[in-house]
Amino acid sequence: MMKALIGAILAAGKGERLRESAGGLPKPLIELDGHPLLVRQALAMAAAGASPVLAVVNSETARLIEARKVKLPEELKLFVRDTANSMETLFVLGENLPKGHFIMATVDAVLPRPEFQRFTARALELTAPGDRRFDGALGVARWRGDARPLFAAVDSGGLITSLGASETPQVTAGVYLFSTEIFGFVGQARAAGLAAMREFLGYLVRTGMRFAAIELADVVDVDEAADLAAARAMLSARGESGAGGAPSRMQR
């Protein structure tokens, strides 16, 4: 059985590029596979062994969850913050996570459930206390021309040696396993004027933190309407379309 751990979801963004094709909804509430993206991600994390699952949403999303009576999994605990950027959203999670490792994803990183579970199991193996080869793990995928990717340079041993704008064959895929040790660098990151999670992750690599790259075969980063269609096609091809995620008790 997979070891239980805390889950964390970054969902405080507005998703402006998707709004027009989604009836003005913020990205976390756009439906995929029978659930809003936020709910689907929480269910995927729960199926991978995460409980509870913490998520940061902005005040607009929180208001619409209430107004639309969105049913949330009981494992999901929301924190409402209008953060300045993705790095600050990550830091809100850090204020509420117990010490140890946690699995994390952006709300728009869509993976088939078996792939999410495979990533989680492998990441826990690579960061196990008896074998501290790595401090954490990042899901990576082959770059297919996505706009504004975070490129990952990976050595022959699977170690990420740099993260940034310099083109490499692989890009980060929006799923991670980290230790809460990363939040020891919050002060330095703010003092350095960092303003995005991608900048913070690159900074952590430069400080010497050792992150493993775990390549994912199937993942779609949902930023535009075409990405949503691609995610639906991927899930349908994997037999997940309409499955609605892992069984879970829901709350209003």
What are the tens digits of pLDDT across the range 168-197? 999 999 999 999 999 999 999 999 999 999
pLDDT > 90 in the chain, percent: 77
User: Are 151 and 167 spatial neighbours (Cβ–Cβ below 8 Å)?
Assistant: yes
| Domains in the chain, number | 1
Residue 193: how many CB atoms within 10 A of its CB? 7
Q: Which domain holds residue 134?
A: 5-239
pLDDT at 242: 54
195, part of any domain: yes
pTM: 0.91
* CATH number assigned to the domain comprising residue 225: 3.90.550.10
8-state DSSP, 246: S
Does the pLDDT at position 22 exceed 60? yes
24, part of any domain: yes
Q: How confident is the model at residue 243 (pLDDT cuts 50, 70, 90)?
A: very low
C-alpha–C-alpha distance, residues 212 and 235, integer Å = 26
Determine if residue 23 is left, alpha or beta; phi over 0 gives left, psi from -120 to 50 gives alpha, anything else beta.
left
Instruction: Give the rounded distance of the alpha carbon of 217 from its chain centre.
Output: 16
Query: How many Å from the N-terminal Cα to the C-terminal Cα in the chain?
Result: 30
pLDDT at 132: 64
- 237-243 average pLDDT score: 73
- 78-107 average pLDDT score: 96
251, part of any domain: no
- 220-228 average pLDDT score: 89
Does the pLDDT at position 127 exceed 50? yes
List 251's β-bridge partners, or say none. Answer: 72
> Nearest Cα to 231, choosing from 223, 222, 239?
222
Q: What's the burial of 143, exposed, middle or buried (CB within 10 Å: 0-12/13-18/19+)?
A: middle
Q: What's the burial of 24, exposed, middle or buried (CB within 10 Å: 0-12/13-18/19+)?
A: exposed
- 66-91 average pLDDT score: 96
- 213-217 average pLDDT score: 96
C-alpha–C-alpha distance, residues 205 and 158, integer Å = 14
249, part of any domain: no
245, part of any domain: no
Q: How confident is the model at residue 1 (pLDDT cuts 50, 70, 90)?
A: very low
Q: Which residue has the tokens 């091809």?
A: 237
Pairing of strands 109-110, 220-221: antiparallel
C-alpha–C-alpha distance, residues 170 and 188, integer Å = 28
Residue 162 neighbours by CB under 8 Å, 6+ apart: 152, 153, 202, 205, 206
More confident residue, 58 or 33: 58
250, part of any domain: no
Does the pLDDT at position 239 exceed 90? no
168, part of any domain: yes
252, part of any domain: no
Q: Which helix (H) or strand (E) holds 16?
A: helix 16-19
